[in-house]
Structure 1
Amino acid sequence: MKLTKLLLLLISSVLLAFNTYATDTNATDHVDYILQHDSSLGKISAISWIKVGQLPNPDSFVTSIGISAAYSGFIGNYLIVAGGANFPNGHPFFEQGKKQFYSDIFVFDTQNDSVNLVAHGHLPIKAGHGATLVVDNSLYLIGGKNNDQAFDSIIKLTLDINNNPTTDVVDHLPFTWHSGAAAWQNGNIYIFAGEQDGMVNNQVCQYSLASKSCVNSEIIPAVPGANRTDFPAIHHQGKFYIFGGLNLLADKDNYVHTDAYAFDFNNQDWTTLAPITFNKQPFSVSGGGAAVMNNDQLVLLGGVNRTIFNEAVFQLSTKTNGALAAFKQQYFSLSEQDINFSRQQMIYHINQNKWSALNNKVPFSGGAGPLTITQRENKIYWISGEIKPVIRTPNIYQGTVMLSN
């Protein structure tokens, strides 16, 4: 039990516990990308990225240093960013800064390729690491956690006639839950893996708002492979895709997963997909996000570096006393380039069950933490997030998906 608690704590100290302000001199550049040539992959889309703004500072703070693990989604043209966490009072190792969670809700008008703040409100809880579902003209915020507790709440967020956010706790899951993924299908909330009641798992709960319980649990198989948290996932064309994730109770060099699966809601079963690879090597998107390029292509953005993260978890879980302090000094002093959060734009080709990558990287810092990726039609929003341990950025970037002819 002591080992379990220590390893779970490492998620906070290595991946999910970071802040500080950073700028990007290339943030306003307009850059287009095409995929590496492979005639078997068919026609390819492109993405054009621009910086469209920054997150405002939360209440009681005069500057914005960015957040990670926020709830986020669209209601009409309005982008909602809520909750999340950072370290406003200094580095957790060098300055003993404590992680802080927020209740702030920011409402942005996203017309004209910008993010203009139009309203500010508050959640009933200070939290992050939950899931966001778009349901009709509202958002459902599922679960989450803060420093003191994990949550079982289902919060419905809507906008009033003046676009001010209103919230209502409409239900409670039969367990606390965070750091997994969720989907809305046929009036039910599906909960995938993550941490339930303090334990990392790979279970699937089809939660019925009508019966207030998990239904069909005897026929829905668990997510294949290991228990996992912090994985990009996306609901697309009747299926739910899960990519990679973390399991801090795995063996050395295997804390970061690169496997991938698709759940068919109609058949209630899983398909194993091609493992995530780049240049024929396993590649991590854990801690990143996912979006849709077109009907046949998904894009995976951000994620921790597999080799660096695996080594960090091993060292932090095996070293003690002076050796542990020396490693933390070295690790937390690494540059953004050395930490190497992913800037690759990884493409999963659904019909061919293949992986590819855009020729060029995103023209700004890579991200994890977990990264918040939100999409509306052909616009992808990369919202704040970590750019290295203990550093976040407040920047918001917009990627426009341009379909090929």
Structure 2
Amino acid sequence: MPLVALVCGPALAVESQTKVPVQAKVSWVKAGQLPAPKGFNQSIGIAGAYSAFVGDYLVVAGGANFPKGHPFFDKGVKQYYSDIFVFDTANNQFELVAHGHLPSARGHGATVVVGNSLYLVGGKNNDQAFDSILKLTLDDNSQPVVNAVNQLPFTWDSGAAAWQDDSLFLFAGKHNGVVSNAVCQFSLKQQKCINKDKIAPIPGLARADFPSIKHHKQFYVFGGANVLAGKGRYVLTDAYAFDFEALSWRTLTPITVKDQPYSVAGGGVAVINDEQFILLGGVNRQVFNDAIFQLTTSAQDRLSKFKQYYFSLNEQEVNFSRQQLIYDLNKDNWSTLSKEVPFTGGAGPLAISQKENQIYWISGEIRPVIRTPNVYQATIEPVQ
């Protein structure tokens, strides 16, 4: 499938109170679109998918959307999927080479790369949350092979996970349906959480749907959301780093743009270079804070009017983030590239997957309920 150029151009100019130089340029193209899931003729995109690379193959699995209309205007019901799509991205292509299925429809879990396998951890659908750990591999024909390999001691979704010291670390998310800030070092051999007395929870509030990344034996957590936090506090903008060796947390500079708190909840993160991350997507802090307050506190008539208003907002009014935020690990500060991504912002959460110097922005919401099937690719190039 041909790539359609949407080039951002050199990312040298930086807008921030910190003026952090970014010695790279980030250029975006439209790589293609997700196919329609089994039983459907049209792809409308998904949010909450499992996604990662196995070599040159990008795997996108599960996720959810509203194929039969809007839940407020059309009484549509959210639908989860079991589809697994495998794309060959070698030689700058984006070609669907295999289509398989998970054991059941699900989304909003975590994807962890372990060798040449993916662990798909937890997740949920309309009927249940999952405690399963699924192992996904590709056979000699690039077809996905999925097996259940273990069970967590609780159901878990909407958090983050990483593989370290032959253990699966689970960070925050919903434990048995309740949003948490707990950390579980799950030993697949012992089939339980270990080192409980040594690992502190994530500082601050419990959280879900936050960008996170493992880098140099550290695990970074950025913002997120907690719909029980109270008026004006539903969107979190704090940030932390976990040291796998010391089993301890370090507080980072809160997420800001132009000295103001900034939301990346529902977005993703990738590596720009050894010292910098790029954070992409996320709900608008003011819009989302107000929406959660109205949706959870308004009486019936007022609630209906607010839903009419809120779900009629267009992409510009909902204003999911199009910023390309840069976090500098050594200086512990924030900046933005001079250009935004050249397409509609996303959340939902969207899926961000990375292969070396290529970042893939995979589907996600472009406003509440509404997804896009588009997949975008960014190439990171050092500035000479």
Give distance in 1, aligned partners of 2:309 and 2:150. 45
Cα deviation, 1:138-168, whole Å, max 9, x if unaligned, reads: 1000000000000000000001111110100
2:307 corresponding residue in structure 1: 328
2:96 corresponding residue in structure 1: 117
Contact kept? 1:77, 1:110, Cα under 8 Å:
yes
Q: SS of 2:90's equivalent? A: coil
Q: Is residue 369 from structure 1 mapped to residue 348 from structure 2 by the alignment?
A: yes
Q: SS of 1:32's equivalent? A: coil
Q: Is residue 205 from structure 1 mapped to residue 184 from structure 2 by the alignment?
A: yes
Q: Are the structure 2 counterparts of residues 386 and 33 from structure 1 closer, same or farther at C-alpha, using a change threshold of 3 Å?
A: farther
Letter of the 2:275 partner, please give it.
D
1:293 corresponding residue in structure 2: 272
Q: Is residue 41 from structure 1 mapped to residue 20 from structure 2 by the alignment?
A: yes
Range 266-275 or range 37-46, more displaced: 37-46
- 5+ long unaligned stretches in structure 1: 1-25
Cα deviation, 1:229-267, whole Å, max 9, x if unaligned, reads: 010000011100000010111121110000000000011
Q: What is the correspondence of 1:126-165 to structure 2 with a 5 Å cutoff?
A: 126-165=105-144
Instruction: Say which of 171, 177, 180 aligns to 2:159.
Output: 180
Give distance in 2, aligned partners of 1:96 and 1:41. 48
Give distance in 2, aligned partners of 1:199 and 1:125. 22
Contact kept? 2:221, 2:239, Cα under 8 Å:
yes
Give distance in 2, aligned partners of 1:152 and 1:383. 25
Contact kept? 1:27, 1:364, Cα under 8 Å:
no
Q: Is residue 30 from structure 1 mapped to residue 7 from structure 2 by the alignment?
A: yes
Instruction: Say which of 230, 234, 242 aligns to 1:255.
Output: 234
Question: Following TM superposition, by how much is the alpha carbon of 1:404 offset from its aligned partner in structure 2, in angstroms?
Answer: 2.7
Contact kept? 2:213, 2:269, Cα under 8 Å:
yes
Q: What is the correspondence of 1:224-373 to structure 2 with a 5 Å cutoff?
A: 224-373=203-352
Question: Following TM superposition, by how much is the alpha carbon of 1:65 offset from its aligned partner in structure 2, in angstroms?
Answer: 0.2
Give distance in 1, aligned partners of 2:383 and 2:192. 45
Contact kept? 1:35, 1:356, Cα under 8 Å:
no
Question: Following TM superposition, by how much is the alpha carbon of 1:27 offset from its aligned partner in structure 2, in angstroms?
Answer: 6.4
Q: Which has the higher strand share?
A: 2
**Structure 2-normalised TM-score?**
0.97
**Structure 1-normalised TM-score?**
0.92
Contact kept? 2:11, 2:22, Cα under 8 Å:
no
Range 109-118 or range 165-174, more displaced: 109-118
Question: Following TM superposition, by how much is the alpha carbon of 1:43 offset from its aligned partner in structure 2, in angstroms?
Answer: 5.0
Q: SS of 2:91's equivalent? A: coil
Give distance in 2, aligned partners of 1:103 and 1:227. 29
Contact kept? 1:35, 1:357, Cα under 8 Å:
no
Give distance in 2, aligned partners of 1:186 and 1:205. 13
2:84 corresponding residue in structure 1: 105
Identity percentage of aligned residues = 59
Aligned length: 380
Contact kept? 1:100, 1:147, Cα under 8 Å:
yes
Instruction: Say which of 70, 75, 78 aligns to 2:49.
Output: 70
Q: Are the structure 2 counterparts of residues 40 and 384 from structure 1 closer, same or farther at C-alpha, using a change threshold of 3 Å?
A: closer
Contact kept? 2:12, 2:21, Cα under 8 Å:
no
Q: Are the structure 2 counterparts of residues 199 and 207 from structure 1 closer, same or farther at C-alpha, using a change threshold of 3 Å?
A: same
Range 331-340 or range 105-114, more displaced: 105-114
What's the Cα RMSD here?
A: 1.3
Range 44-53 or range 61-70, more displaced: 44-53
**Aligned structure 1 segments of 4 or more residues deviating by more than 6 angstroms:** none
Q: SS of 2:349's equivalent? A: coil
- 5+ long unaligned stretches in structure 2: none
